[in-house]
Amino acid sequence: MAIVPEAWTPAARRALPAMRAWREAFHQEPELSLEEKRTRDKVVAALTELGIPPQTFAGFTGVVGLIPGSADGPVVALRADMDGLPVTEATHLSFRSRFPGRMHACGHDVHMACLLGAAAIMTRGGRRPVGPVKLLFQPAEEEGRRGGALPLIERGCLDDPKVDYVVGQHVEPNLPLGSVGWKTGPFMAAADFFRITVFGRGGHAASPHQGPDAIVIASEIVNGLQALVSRVRDPLDPVVVSVGSIHGGTRNNILPSEVVLEGTVRTFRPATRDLIDRVFHRRVRALAASLGARTRIEYLRGYPTLVNTPAATRAVAEALRVEFGRKHTIEVEHPVMGAEDFSRYLERVPGTFLHLGVGVPNHPSSLHSATFAPDERALIIGAATLAAAADGLQRNPP
């Protein structure tokens, strides 16, 4: 009869005190994208304590660790992001942020603690991984354009030894605490960003007929862009166009000469991404020209669509079912319009991105909220998830 290896969860439960300390230390001192120097130093110290030599980089805050395998199995990389957000914390946590205007409002403190916890149970939990496991502590996921994954890849994080599979996870308030969500194929959207400057003619608000009114024209553009969603693409092909910022004017009786709009475009299919890019420019210019104004458009490509490799995802899902049971291993029904630079790894290496449930009934919370505070019990599931995923890919490679 085959011997079933010991589950990872009991070891993760024993590691909770260490994970709690790491998470609280990260949470108290959040740092913005590419500024994660204190965070890097904390990661380096934790890896050193675990006996894992940390690899650091001049002028870049990423950290890479390597756990040798007990045999010559596939190399699996596990990733956690490191950066916080420009949010003023409004939780009542005893370890809330000490830095005004900065907060781990997206759970990256949890991600790092879970990855360190997975490293701890793979090195000290009495059960080593079959093959080598790389630990990727990546900065700048929130940066949105180049991000931190691409610079880390350019510094060789997927080489020497060459990575065969890559796994990441993100806290998810819409899944119950104690569960893990998975999905094959497209899972998260591509994200592009725009900045439109509308040039009108400034003047007295009592005389709007004397020249193009930049505020009225900007308003027409905001409304007109929604036709790209409702009338340009296939209604079964998800697209989001959102304006998140409008700036123009100084007081109630002066028409400004310029108004600036900033926003984002989310798509899944590369062809749709290209289509929206083209018609976006055409529609904005046409709307402005019809009212006698001109515009300057800056349109920047951000992260590509995150596409989970089907075979690797199914292998990980099966390992999680063994670890947690089917009830707690949930196939996510629909992709989400959020974006992630974990997609950069999946463009190069097979793998999967998971959602770690942190939802608690009657305590609604949301990512990027000033009150976001995942339950520390998620650390146990998160660490066991990463260890089980690596183990499943190494023992039963797809």
Catalytic residue list: 303, 376
Q: Which two tokens stand for residue 318?
A: 């099966």
Rg over alpha carbons for the chain, rounded to the nearest Å, is 23
Q: Checking DSSP bridges between strand 180-182 and strand 329-331, what pairing results, if any?
A: parallel
- The SS3 assignment for 308 reads strand
Nearest of 25, 135, 129, 33 to residue 77 by alpha carbon = 135
Q: 188, 339 in Cβ contact below 8 A? A: yes
- Contacts of residue 317, Cβ cutoff 8 Å, sequence gap at least 6: 182, 329, 331
Q: 339, 301 in Cβ contact below 8 A? A: no
Q: How far is CA 277 from CA 213, 251, 294, in A?
A: 26, 34, 19
Nearest of 266, 270, 256, 265 to residue 298 by alpha carbon = 265
Nearest of 62, 8, 7, 6 to residue 383 by alpha carbon = 8
Q: Checking DSSP bridges between strand 60-67 and strand 133-138, what pairing results, if any?
A: antiparallel
Query: 144: phi > 0 → left, psi -120 to 50 → alpha, else beta; which?
Result: left
Task: Give the residue carrying structure tokens 């989310």.
Answer: 266
